[in-house]
Amino acid sequence: MNKKKKMTLATKRAIVGLLFLSPWIIGFLAFYVRSLIMSIQFSLNTVNIDTANGGYTLTFNGIKNFIYAFAEHGSFSQTLVLSLQDILIDVPLIVFFSLFMAMLMNKKFRGRTLVRAIFFLPVIMNSEAIISAIDVIRDLMMGGLSATSGAMSDAASSGVNMDYYIALFGELALPDSLLNYIVGAVGRINDIISASGVQIVIFIAALQSIPSSLYEVAKIEGATGYETFWKVTFPMVMPHIITNIVYTVVDSFVNSDIVTMAYETAFLQQNWGLSAAMSLITTVIVCLILGVVCGFIQKRTFYYN
């Protein structure tokens, strides 16, 4: 009797829970699952859009679209490799930069609220619309007659020869590739800052969730700040590093050249089948990268709870 009553309550709760989810389940099936299936279907066909009626006809051509994308398309494989390379270079930079900034901003100091507000600004400013509006004017300036005066006043020339200082570090026998990486990173500091607003916020939250007793113990045992970071802070924020890596990869992927190319193939060149194939290839590759990276880190992750 008792057991039966318990069962019904559990079933009732399950039903109510599914009821809570129902709008999303319908949406997911209708928009995501169906669209994914259609995408796969498009990629295996030549798609002809009937612009007058809005319908389309499919002609099956197997994996020709995939072969075309890799073997014959002028710049697909090149752009794909470059985009992936950009993502792989940027992700560690963004993650470590935002971790560093979060640690700086975690402690109490005067004007903390203001600084945090400023660091979230890029999320607002990083609008595609604003960027494209400014790009238009930049292109005009570059090509325009008055390009010289405008470009001169815009270029912030500080009169410092950076190459000299870079060469100076080269004298210290730092490996060339590492040097180039760091110089490249400093050159793109603006991109990195503007891409790490959300990550900084997530890391600040992560740092604040570390119990202070761990730091007390470390202090009593005589650990230095350096040791405390690697033995306490770093392992404790590890799960959030995964969250941030996923967010960063997805974010930079959505803004990458390869996605733009797939978009243009579809909407400018009307080659829908090829575009679907491109999208699928890139998505599968990114998901694989995410899976490998997360799997790799997950094994080394320490979960407190």
Partner 1 sequence: MQLVQDYKAKMQSLKEDKRFANDRRKAVRVSKKFILGLFKAVVLIGISYLILSPLIGMVSNSFFSDTDRYNPMVYLFPANPTLERYQTSIKVLKYGKILFTTMLYDLSLMAIQLVVCSLVGYGFARFDFPFKKLLFGCVVVMIVLPVNTIMLPLYMTFRNFGPLNLLSTPVPMFIMTVFGCGLRSGLYIYIFNQFFRGLPKEIEEAAFVDGAGMFYTYSRIMLANAMPSVITVSIFSLVWQYNDTFYARMFTMDANTLLSMKISSFTSTISNSFNIVDPTILKLYTYAGVILMILPVMIVYILLQRQFIEGVERSGIVG
Question: Within positions 26 to 45, which residues make up the interface with partner 1, using CB under 8 A?
Answer: 26-28, 30-32, 34-36, 38-39, 42
- Of residues 230-249, those binding partner 1 (CB under 8 A): 239-240, 243, 246
Residues paired with 182 in a beta bridge: none
With CB under 8 A as the contact rule, which of the stretches 63-71, 165-173, 216-224, 258-266 interacts with partner 1?
Answer: 258-266
183 interacts with partner 1 by CB under 8 A: no
Q: Are 98 and 203 in contact (CB under 8 A)?
A: yes
88 touching partner 1, by CB under 8 A: no
Residue 56: beta bridge partners? 49
Q: Which is nearer to partner 1, 111 or 175 (CB)?
A: 111
* Binding of residue 303 to partner 1 (CB under 8 A): no
Nearest of 90, 102, 132 to residue 197 by alpha carbon: 102
Q: Would you state the structure tokens that stand for residue 104, as one six-digit string? A: 């700086």
Q: What tokens does 260 get?
A: 């733009």
CB 289 within 8 A of CB 84: yes
Closest CA to 246 of 297, 280, 171, 180: 297
What is the closest distance, in whole angstroms, from the C-beta atom of residue 71 to partner 1 in the complex?
22
292 lines the binding site for partner 1 (CB under 8 A)? no
CA atoms within 13 A on the CB side of 149: 2
Tokens representing 94 are 């963004």
| CB 268, min distance to partner 1, A | 12
**Type of residue numbered 61:** N
Smallest distance, Å, CB 177 to partner 1?
26
Residue 270 binding partner 1, by CB under 8 A: no
Nearer to partner 1, 149 or 170 (CB): 149
Question: How far is it, in rounded angstroms, from Cα 172 to Cα 182?
Answer: 14
CA distance 279 to 112: 42
Site for partner 1 in 121-150 (CB under 8 A): 121-130, 132-134, 136-137, 140-141, 144, 146-147, 149-150
What is the smallest separation between the CB atom of 152 and partner 1, expressed in angstroms? 9
Closest C-alpha among 79, 89, 84 to residue 192 = 89
Q: Which two tokens stand for residue 91?
A: 């992700």
Interface with partner 1 includes 277 (CB under 8 A)? Answer: no
User: Applying CB under 8 A, which of residues 153, 158, 161, 305 lies at the interface with partner 1?
Assistant: 153
217 binds partner 1 per the rule CB under 8 A: no
Q: Residue 226 interacts with partner 1 (CB under 8 A)?
A: no
Closest CB to partner 1 among residues 167, 229? 229
Interaction pattern, residues 10-29, with partner 1; x per rule: CB under 8 A: x--xxxxxxxxx-xxxxxx-
DSSP state of 52: T
